[in-house]
Amino acid sequence: MYSSDETLDADFLKSEDAAPTFVGFGPRLGAALLDILFTAPLWGGAVFFTVFSPSIEGWLAVVLLSILYKPVCEKILGGTPGKLVLKMKVIGKEGMPLSWGQAIMRYLPWLVGAIFNIYITYNVFQIPGIDQADGFMEYTQMVQEYQLDNGGAIMSVVQSLIGFIPLISAFFIFGNKQKQAAHDILAETYVVSTKPKF
């Protein structure tokens, strides 16, 4: 039985005053935008190792760091830096910190896109002469020509659709009292406010 639409069961923390407040779509979107700013150097590194100084090893290292960002921060810190700045954290059942399994399960919508992106970019690195491209324009032209010759239009559509998986997961927030996204439901987690109640 719920104590209100906004809090977990009153027995959750043994006190009605201590029951957490669930965080909705808007603040979570704000946290995600902050996280994009915090990870901008990683994405800049990915572009550098793809376009300006092609290196599949450098690119993979940067992408792996970006993949680890969300699950590692949520497991170790209780939230990504964006969430922490906006005074929220991710918890498991009974208010417990996340397990590694829960942190990874929450990341699944993004992981699908990351794996597909790795596949696409790996194929780009296989384009003959791509490592000799002289700047962004020549690189882009080589990639476009390769995609035209190898069904790239379909892959671009698939890549775009896969990119919507995290957003689709987030829309589940509107359909339940605990404001859980699909990835929260899957991992049995909640995003709660850490702002003091007055």
Q: Please write the tens of the pLDDT for every residue from 50-59.
A: 888 888 999 9
- C-alpha distance across the termini of the chain, in Å: 24
Quote the tokens at residue 32: 């995600």
Amino acid found at 2: Y
pTM given for the model: 0.80
Say how many C-beta atoms besides its own lie within 10 A of residue 128's C-beta: 8
- Distance between CA atoms of residues 9 and 123, nearest Å: 50
Amino acid found at 138: E
Q: What is the pLDDT of residue 3?
A: 41
Q: Please write the tens of the pLDDT for every residue from 101-151.
A: 999 999 999 999 999 889 888 888 888 888 787 777 888 888 888 877 777
Query: Where are the domains positioned within the chain?
Result: 16-193
- Distance between CA atoms of residues 178 and 162, nearest Å: 26
Span of 28-37, 83-92, 100-109, 144-153 with lowest mean pLDDT: 144-153
